[in-house]
Amino acid sequence: MPRVVPEQRQKFENDDLFRKMSRETEIKYTGYRDRSHEERIVRFQTEARDGHATVAFVSSGTNFTLQFPKGEDGTVPKDFLDFDREPGKVFIKSRFIMNGVCVVWKGWIDLQRLDGAGYLEFDEDKAKSEDKVMKETLEQAKRRVAEFEERQRQWREEQQRKESEASSHQRINYRQN
């Protein structure tokens, strides 16, 4: 089953949900709501450095568990998680597939308030590679269906041949008796 839809860019540009989320809007860290604010601050920073964080678009209530890739040294690269760009903020980028469309989530979170701003962008590079995988998957499925149909045709022909032979044997046996 392909992970993406055909015409991803068109869906991203025309779908209401994507249009809303492609504008910078207020976001909040949503993890550990039952804990104290101070503990939530520590947990957010720990989670982010471990490669994930849960955030929500406040206006729509849409939640995301963002994943950040780790480099060879085991840390998240600065282009995905940057604590140094501006004091008191962390800048975040995460790539994923949402509703069959490759997107990049970009935003920032205030390290004290645990809120900030974020938006979605269409991920052109990932979309191209996923389109290629989708086309290969569909071609492979078409080949398997064609092979199955060919085997079915051969089986039916064999059954018809056997029935024809059985019928002609019955006629020969009938004439001999």
Chain centroid to Cα 75, Å, comes to 23
Q: Are 5 and 97 in contact (CB under 8 A)?
A: no
Domain identity same for 80 and 114: yes
In the chain, how many domains are there?
Answer: 2
Terminal Cα-to-Cα distance of the chain (whole angstroms)? 60
Query: At which of 94, 122, 150 does a domain end?
Result: 122
Task: Tell me the whole-structure pTM to 2 decimals.
Answer: 0.74
Domain identity same for 117 and 131: no
The pLDDT tens digits along the chain (177 residues) read 568 888 999 999 999 999 999 999 999 999 999 999 999 999 999 999 999 999 999 988 899 999 999 999 999 999 999 999 999 999 999 999 999 999 999 999 999 999 999 999 999 999 888 878 877 877 888 889 989 999 999 999 998 888 888 777 776 666 665
